[in-house]
Amino acid sequence: MQTKQTTGLPTAANDYVTIVQQACNKVTGFLQLYKEMERCVTITGKSRSTLTNYSRQLAHLALHYNCFPLDLDAEQVMDYLYLIKSRGTTSATFFKFTVYGLRYACRMKGLEYKQFSLPEIEKENKLPAVLNGMEVKALLKACKLLKHRLIIGLCYGCGLRCSEVRNVQIADADLQRGMLHVRQGKGSKDRCIPLGKMLCRGIAQYISAVHPRKYLFEGNDGQGMSQRGTQWVVGEAVKRAGIRKEVHTHTLRHSYATHLLEQGVNILVIKELLGHAHIETTMVYLHIAKPSTQNVFSPLDTLYKQG
């Protein structure tokens, strides 16, 4: 439990439920704001993580001043953002979602967010890290439990997002056809992905041994596995494998797309497998994939062959 409420800034013991519930209990109007954000996120088809990230940062801000966030003035908001920036232990993501959360709340309420003098957040032009084949094998070998190997196997072998692998249901895996039905991914879109023989065998073995009821990977409450639990599985495997790269669950998705591209799969097919809305999002992997040296030729030679 959090023991200090003087700043409202995050501590290692904080989690999403705790900080948002604190703000709902202590700050007048925050509970209503949260309910309105939840409704708006649901109606517009945004992911649940959007609600999580925005409401958590607004809760920190509300507790810092013990005041409804949209009642603050520009000086108070700027002082808070300066405090976040000046703390070396606070991540850039924390700062970014504070700004985005305020913008979202203002738009939802029909307010002009420029009143808070919010800074522009420049999009990072940074290529994602990817694993090579040996590193993926090392991750899988480092897992002591079949459950953990399957989680990593689905993130890499099917390019699933963290939220998607957590919510895979037994009925979604058609082992006879070798297909996985991903339901309500980002943007509330369904898609189907080839499982492959290894994952089909692993899932069949796991179901036979564990007997999950609804979700393939169940949490303590019988629902899908938690985000923190899924991230822990990957983090522990990375440590045991001795991989020095910064690896998260999404790194496995990046590796999936990059390796498919390197093995000759059309980028338009990869776009559909990943569930991307725009080809521009998928095209980042063109900058990561190792270029193929097969069938490289000079266009000058083919130009004169045409005659």
For the segment 50-66, the average pLDDT, to the nearest whole number, is: 93
For the segment 191-208, the average pLDDT, to the nearest whole number, is: 94
Residue 152: is its pLDDT beyond 50?
yes
Q: How confident is the model at residue 95 (pLDDT cuts 50, 70, 90)?
A: confident
- Known catalytic residues are 161, 186, 250, 253, 276, 285
Residue 220: is its pLDDT beyond 60?
yes
For the segment 123-148, the average pLDDT, to the nearest whole number, is: 89
Q: What angle do CA 208, 214, 220 make, to 5 degrees?
A: 95
Question: pTM, whole model, 2 decimals?
Answer: 0.66
Predicted pLDDT at 214: 93
Residue 8: is its pLDDT beyond 60?
no
Residue 124: is its pLDDT beyond 70?
no
Predicted pLDDT at 185: 67
Look at residue 182 and give its three-state secondary structure: strand
Residue 131: is its pLDDT beyond 60?
yes
Nearest Cα neighbor of 37 from 15, 9, 64, 70 is 70
Taking the C-alpha atoms of residue 26 and residue 254, their distance in angstroms, rounded to an integer, is 41
Count of CB atoms situated within 10 Å of the CB of 199: 21
For the segment 113-132, the average pLDDT, to the nearest whole number, is: 79
Strands (E), 172-214: 173-174, 179-182, 191-194
